Structure 1
Amino acid sequence: MSVPVFLAVLGAALLHAGWNALVRVGASRAGTMMVLSGVQGVIGLAVVTTQPLPGTQVWTWIVASGAIHSAYKLFLTFAYEHGDLGRVYPLARGTAPMITLVAGALWLGEAVRPPEAAGILLLGSGILLLARGVWTSGESRRMLPFAVGAACATAGYTLVDGHGARLAGSSTQFVGWLFVVDGLIFAAAMLALRGRAAMPRAGRVWLAGGIGAAASYASYAVAVWAMTRAPIALVAALRESSILFAVLIGWLVLRERMTEAKALSVLMIAAGVALTRL
């Protein structure tokens, strides 16, 4: 992985942690996610007007990607209704690099060097250690199935999007269309599950969702572009350094307590990121 790609993925990780924090602290998490998903779709529609239509074989990957992204957002929304940023986010993101590593090696034939594989595993271990409080601190375990579902969806869309963008030959085109499809599917699913209660009303919800949409779109556009320049599993693992940024946001901005376990986890994550650069 080249230095420009490495730095771009780190920037995308910071943006990803930022929009998750906006959703978590929002007055209406479902409403914020509705606005975020809808604005992403509008941005995507504006982008694809500047691009040629995808080839026939690419549309299957676009629809699959949109559906998986919608599932990810649904799982994440429900998880945040039962748990804190510092617990849900690590669980939702933590197991995805290891799932992606195995799936990428088995199905896509992508070779990852031993130091990179070690970095991925250390990174994932640090993230899981950070999340251990859900079992030891008496926190609600109702968020667990949703967080695990979000992790599986993360691994799924990572593999689908990396391959789909390569097939399309343009990450800009692919990302634009996937967010158009995702916006439609997510809105339909949320309205079916929550009815009119899912519709955002407060101005601050629209503001948070709009800012989150811009950050999320930029973050993922950079990540998918990076997947066309470096191994998918490596990009996915490095992107999970967003956990480090989320912990810092929780500590410095949201005034969450920094425990010894959190500090150790952050060190493991930093070491995992360093190993991916060897």
Structure 2
Amino acid sequence: MSGGILLAVLGAALLHGTWNALAKLIPDRLVSSALIGLAYLLLGGLACLVLPLPAAGAVPSLLLSAVLQTAYLILLTAAYAASDFGTAYPLMRGVAVLGVTAVSVLWLGESLAPGQLLAVLLVVVALAVLALRSSRTQTRRGLLLALVVGAVVAAYSLVDGVGVRSAGNALSYAAWLFLLQGVTVPLTCWVLSRDRRAFLAGLRRHARPGMLGGVLSLIAYAVVVWAQSLAPLALVSALRETGVIVAVFAGRLLFREPLTTRGVAASGLVAVGIVLLRTTTA
């Protein structure tokens, strides 16, 4: 993996942790998801106007990924409503790394050097330590939702990793994916909303942080999709999970969650994993 790809994915990880924090700041989970989707619709639509069409072979992946990512956004905000941010975020991302690594190596035939496998394991262990630390508001429902979200993340990461390689243009694939989600996410939230008047009022009240979160999410995932077209899926997936470092400090600064020695040590372990991923070749 080149230095340029490494820095780009680390930047995407920072943006990912930031937009997830913005999503938790909005108290209504459907409003939060819908606003992110509307940002996707606007920016994804504009990008589709200037980018070439993806190859026809990518269409099944686009459609499946749009369904998975719609479910992801709604489940994600539900998990944050039932959990501490610093607990839910590491758990769902750790499950995603484990799932992507296992499937990409065992099913897709990608090979990793022993040092790279060790690096991925270090990242997963660090995220597990962060996720299993004591929490004031963690519930069984929140824990289950976080695990389900992690499984969905692994699923759409694999679908996109395959789809982007058949699209012919990574940014075109990302643009059409966001456009599709920009339609499916707000519509799904509207259907699920029990109080449509309150839902519309929430869209107006929280438009600024919600749309900003959507923009940051779009940029972060576009970078990841581009990186997946050039580097092994397991390595890209592991690197993007360094956004957990943002989650640890965001949980403390924004949500007044405890910042423990264990949390800081686990964040350092993530950094060690990054170094191994960068310096070990397959």
The question of a shared fold, defined as TM-score above 0.5 by the shorter chain, is answered with: yes
Which deviations, in whole Å up to 9, do the C-alpha atoms of 1:211-236 show, x marking residues without a partner?
A: 11111111001111111111011000
Give the corresponding residue for 1:182.
Answer: 181
Give the corresponding residue for 2:125.
Answer: 125
Give the corresponding residue for 2:153.
Answer: 154
**Does the C-alpha gap of structure 1 residues 83 and 200 become closer, same or farther in structure 2, counting only changes over 3 Å?**
farther
Alpha-carbon shift at residue 256 of structure 1 (Å): 3.1
* Inter-partner Cα distance in structure 1 for 2:66 and 2:133: 32
Give the corresponding residue for 2:140.
Answer: 141
- For 1:185-204, what aligned pairs fall within 5 Å after superposition? 185-195=184-194, 196=196, 197-201=198-202, 203-204=204-205
Alpha-carbon shift at residue 200 of structure 1 (Å): 5.0
Note if contact 1:34-1:200 (Cα within 8 Å) is conserved in structure 2. Answer: no
Number of positions where the alignment pairs a residue of Structure 1 with one of Structure 2: 277
Q: Residue type of the partner of 1:173?
A: S
Note if contact 2:72-2:149 (Cα within 8 Å) is conserved in structure 1. Answer: yes
* Inter-partner Cα distance in structure 1 for 2:59 and 2:200: 29
Note if contact 1:226-1:235 (Cα within 8 Å) is conserved in structure 2. Answer: yes
* Inter-partner Cα distance in structure 2 for 1:146 and 1:121: 23
Give the corresponding residue for 1:2.
Answer: 2
Instruction: Give the CA RMSD over aligned residues.
Output: 1.7
Note if contact 1:22-1:208 (Cα within 8 Å) is conserved in structure 2. Answer: yes
Q: Residue type of the partner of 1:18?
A: T
- Taking structure 2 as the reference length, what is the TM-score of the superposition? 0.92
Note if contact 2:91-2:150 (Cα within 8 Å) is conserved in structure 1. Answer: yes
Percentage of matched positions with identical amino acids: 35
Note if contact 2:91-2:131 (Cα within 8 Å) is conserved in structure 1. Answer: yes
SS in 2 for 1:230: coil
- For 1:94-113, what aligned pairs fall within 5 Å after superposition? 94-113=94-113
Alpha-carbon shift at residue 188 of structure 1 (Å): 2.7
Which deviations, in whole Å up to 9, do the C-alpha atoms of 1:162-208 show, x marking residues without a partner?
A: 11111001111100111111222222322232242544535441001
SS in 2 for 1:139: coil
Give the corresponding residue for 1:53.
Answer: 53
**Does the C-alpha gap of structure 1 residues 138 and 78 become closer, same or farther in structure 2, counting only changes over 3 Å?**
closer
Give the corresponding residue for 1:265.
Answer: 266
Give the corresponding residue for 1:206.
Answer: 207
Give the corresponding residue for 1:89.
Answer: 89
Q: Which runs of 5+ in 2 are unaligned?
A: none
Give the corresponding residue for 1:164.
Answer: 163
* Inter-partner Cα distance in structure 1 for 2:213 and 2:232: 27
- Taking structure 1 as the reference length, what is the TM-score of the superposition? 0.94
Note if contact 2:37-2:185 (Cα within 8 Å) is conserved in structure 1. Answer: yes
Alpha-carbon shift at residue 268 of structure 1 (Å): 1.7
Alpha-carbon shift at residue 255 of structure 1 (Å): 4.2
Alpha-carbon shift at residue 54 of structure 1 (Å): 2.6
SS in 1 for 2:53: coil
- Greater shift in the superposed pair: 25-34 or 97-106: 25-34
Note if contact 1:54-1:168 (Cα within 8 Å) is conserved in structure 2. Answer: yes
* Inter-partner Cα distance in structure 1 for 2:137 and 2:205: 32
Alpha-carbon shift at residue 41 of structure 1 (Å): 1.8
Note if contact 2:39-2:214 (Cα within 8 Å) is conserved in structure 1. Answer: yes
* Inter-partner Cα distance in structure 1 for 2:38 and 2:153: 20
Note if contact 2:249-2:259 (Cα within 8 Å) is conserved in structure 1. Answer: no
* Inter-partner Cα distance in structure 2 for 1:51 and 1:137: 47
Give the corresponding residue for 1:22.
Answer: 22
Q: Which runs of 5+ in 1 are unaligned?
A: none
- Greater shift in the superposed pair: 212-221 or 49-58: 49-58
* Inter-partner Cα distance in structure 1 for 2:10 and 2:103: 23
